[in-house]
Structure 1
Amino acid sequence: MAPFELALPSRRGDVDQALLELDKRDAFDRTVDELIGHTDDNSCTKEVTMGIDNALASVAVTDLHVATAWYAQLFGRAGTTPMTELAEWQFPRGGWLQVYQLPERAGQGSCTLAVSDVAAVIKQLSAMGVDISQRSSDSNVKTVRVTDPDGNHIAFAEAMDSTLAQ
């Protein structure tokens, strides 16, 4: 098909369905525009805030079974598997870490996990044979950065300042 050609639906029912979908999208767009106060020049007249309740971090891995065993040892407990290609761990004060099998993205992720005692984490990581040489500390936070078997970067951070995320 040349760039200027338009593929038309072959049956009347297909045309009606396509028009119905366009009407739904148009109605949705109008509703969103009303909510946020969009104007014709694409500016907004109302302040909009998002009600985010929690956050999930996720990292891609090559082999879910290998990764789940490593993370289970790291966290001292098995994760749950709500889907065959995903394992996850929920943390006591909120938040989750999801590990999912997607080899083409494995090793490209990073996340930071807030801990109350980074020295204890360093001791545990050392016992697991994990490289703990990437450490930093200042008056606000103490961190250790490690990589999982796929190369994803995991930071453990202990906030020394109570105004920082904990």
Structure 2
Amino acid sequence: MSEFLSDGDELFAASCVNSYAATYPWWETLLGAPPSFKATPTEAVWEVAPHRWIVLEQRPERAGNATHTLYVTDLDARVAAISARGIEPSDTEVYGDVRKVVYRDPEGNEIGFGGSPV
């Protein structure tokens, strides 16, 4: 199977919310840093890997319906770091020999971190 994205292509995955002001602090805490840039006064963008971006955007008509999963090699360390910043997982799922730790923002958007079990 060929790659869908080529060198130089970008991926933007958005989580839409009713209230950017109320939800932004949660995302900044979860991701552990301010956004890479703010596209508008109600849109923040974090680069989570080269050319791969998570977007928080105020779009009430689409709020609370996003589901993202990032597969990481250091799942336990990531979960521990997020917990140390004050956010606990909503759920943990296991699919064969892969774990997924799920977080939900205050408006219901889901972001999961997947990785192999210990």
What's the TM-score once normalised by structure 1's chain length? 0.57
Higher helix share: 1
Identity, % of aligned positions:
27
Match of residue 97, structure 1, among 45, 54, 78: 54
1:84 to partner: Cα distance: 2.0
Give the total of aligned pairs: 111
Contact 1:125–1:132 (Cα < 8 Å) also in 2: no
Q: Deviations over 1:131-156 (max 9, x none)?
A: 343232533x3211121111011111
Distance 1:91 1:131 in 2: 19
Hey, what does 1:142 align to over in structure 2? 99
Higher strand share: 2
Contact 1:126–1:132 (Cα < 8 Å) also in 2: no
List alignment gaps of at least 5 residues for structure 2. none
Does structure 1 residue 70 correspond to structure 2 residue 26? yes
Q: Structure with the greater relative contact order (CA < 8 A, sep ≥ 6): 1 or 2? A: 2
List alignment gaps of at least 5 residues for structure 1. 1-49, 161-166
Structure 2 CA distance for partners of 1:72 and 1:129, relative to 1, 3 Å: closer
What amino acid does structure 1 have at the position aligned with 2:89? D
What amino acid does structure 1 have at the position aligned with 2:94? S
What amino acid does structure 2 have at the position aligned with 1:130? E
CA RMSD of aligned residues (A): 2.4
Does structure 1 residue 121 correspond to structure 2 residue 78? yes
Structure 2 CA distance for partners of 1:85 and 1:122, relative to 1, 3 Å: same
- Rg larger in 1 or in 2? 1
Hey, what does 2:44 align to over in structure 1? 87
Distance 1:100 1:125 in 2: 22
What's the TM-score once normalised by structure 2's chain length? 0.77
Three-state SS of the structure 1 residue aligned to 2:78 is helix
